[in-house]
Structure 1
């Protein structure tokens, strides 16, 4: 299979199905993306606290692409296998006025800079206090172009992906995205070295990244209406999970959507009656808030351990 490359200059600040593709690939081929951090270069290793409050928000969260995948049609699913992620040598975490879950309680800008060594596997939050953060890189932004015409901000998440900020979609994960336009028009960005579920202050350890993904068109997953993913076994003490998501402006509706989508997956894949799938979700499923700050939408996941399910092709 051919390996293709998308450069840092091939970046956009909106999702728009009229943006011409950077490259065209065959289904099943691999693409490597070289992505600047989410500040789009506004934060540097010499930045101060003031920079966290002076960023131009219309110029952040750029995505690299789009990539046209031959054979992709509306109603299909794009399978994104995350193969490798290489983060930069430094990163940053910021508190910006007016942004984050507790923005009214933390109105002052704050910036924390990090020296990163991916080979070391961790970074100290506070070495004197022995607070150590494991490095688990992932791309916060992964998505395909929406079917609706027009330009849509890259800051929120959507049913077609976007700013999912979901830490479980790291190297070794598989993401499934519903395709709404011919060619899918896949883009990626927003490198994170580490982040918790929810990204409550609005930033992770933001960093540049080089990420390789394999893009495959699936014709057999018509039940994929929002992002689904399979997490790597190392990401959770209970091993690999299958996750469906709900992406809605209301948190409860996002949770309902995530459960509803899991029921549909279990029904389509394992032929469970819907009421039985509903009960299984209650017994072994975990609802998690993956993204809580990039308004207007939340991302809630319904995660079921693979260990309780029969082996199934993906």
Structure 2
């Protein structure tokens, strides 16, 4: 076993997409471990607290009229004309990787073990050693067209500080309503429509003393983690799919194991969208978006060895913790195939929790019948009396429902 280190830099981070054609940032063998740094794409909501003085973050977010460290931001064309900024496309998350796994082939399953997760401290002289994150009630949030207070509509950014001195928790520091921001190329962003735009704090009004007497329990996890799909060279980081991606389940944190079906040679694992805390549904559009570093272990399960294991017949992400297994249902199990050539722009127009619930039911039924050898009638009975279904997220274009079954249900197995 070898232990690798993968820091963030413009050469180790892709902005807004999974890809099977970019050069791997790291190649390792099954059984190897890696410490991987990740950055939140919302760090520029408060540059002073989350970027200033941090060499890695500064290198990734560097953007002047003369130089843009990462011009491609999304799974779109590299040639213009552009309306929102150079390299615009669908996809927003900073993803570290890809990590190639030697010997991985389509049909295999990659197991990713999250051994540890820790926050990235601020390097700012004023805030050194403290940890911060941003929560955005955004235009893509479930709430956006159902507001009751003025002004309507509005996008609101809330900055949180993460306290890790004991049992970690987050407290709100201040919030502000998004006001039009002009990027270094002179483009005005009246809404939060392009990742990495630096907020000029002279143009906003901070509202302090908010969420008084509220402590949010921390749930450090990675919102977006998965493998490269085979269907397209560049795939948006926003909708989750059969190889994982933007699942946004707070349970994908320390101690979890998640299994992904391999779709391309090398698997091409990427991770990002780090979160300090999130509730089921991620209703407003984001979690507390922060920067995290994780320790991972990678185990490759070859397709010929899957029979008789919990991975037999697996065609979708499967989460395992000490206490339960979880599957993920989506509006479209594989939207890239189901929606055709315009899938990446069309998927958000068809989001449905009904379809996601149906998909989660079918996946957990298959798991009980294949892995635990139940009849269909036995499986359906158990699904009603012992399985838990919840809304994973309603903001990622391909909406999600997770279905979980506790391990202690299976006595003596």
- Give TM-score, length-normalised by structure 1: 0.88
Matched, 1:68 2:115: no
Q: CA RMSD in A?
A: 2.1
Partner residue of 1:119 out of 150, 165, 168: 165
Aligned residues of 2:222 and 2:273 also touching (Cα < 8 A): yes
Residue 95 of structure 1: aligned partner: 137
Residue 4 of structure 1: aligned partner: 4
Residue 129 of structure 1 deviates from its aligned partner by: 4.1
Aligned residues of 1:75 and 1:222 also touching (Cα < 8 A): no
CA separation in 1, counterparts of 2:211 and 2:253? 29
Moved over 6 A (4+): none
Aligned residues of 1:77 and 1:222 also touching (Cα < 8 A): no
Aligned residues of 1:76 and 1:218 also touching (Cα < 8 A): yes
Residue 256 of structure 1: aligned partner: 358
Partner of 1:252: helix, strand, or coil?
helix
Residue 127 of structure 1 deviates from its aligned partner by: 8.2
Residue 17 of structure 1 deviates from its aligned partner by: 1.0
Q: Which runs of 5+ in 2 are unaligned?
A: 50-83, 121-130, 148-152, 173-208, 332-350
CA separation in 2, counterparts of 1:167 and 1:68? 25
Residues 156-212 of structure 1: per-residue CA shift (max 9 Å, x gap): 211111111101111001111111111111000011011000100011111011011
Residue 222 of structure 1 deviates from its aligned partner by: 3.7
Residue 235 of structure 1: aligned partner: none
CA separation in 2, counterparts of 1:179 and 1:14? 17
Matched, 1:35 2:38: yes
- After TM superposition, the structure 1 = structure 2 runs for residues 40-55 of structure 1, keeping only pairs within 5 Å, are 41-46=43-48
Sort the Cα spacing of 1:279 and 1:133 in 2 relative to 1 into closer, same or farther, 3 A.
Answer: same
CA separation in 2, counterparts of 1:44 and 1:127? 17
Residue 288 of structure 1: aligned partner: 390
Partner residue of 1:81 out of 113, 123, 126: 113
Residue 310 of structure 1 deviates from its aligned partner by: 4.2
Aligned length, in residue pairs: 295
Q: Which runs of 5+ in 1 are unaligned?
A: 48-54, 233-239
Residue 338 of structure 2: aligned partner: none
Residue 272 of structure 1: aligned partner: 374
- Give TM-score, length-normalised by structure 2: 0.67
CA separation in 2, counterparts of 1:149 and 1:181? 11
Structure number with larger C-alpha Rg? 2
Partner of 2:254: helix, strand, or coil?
coil
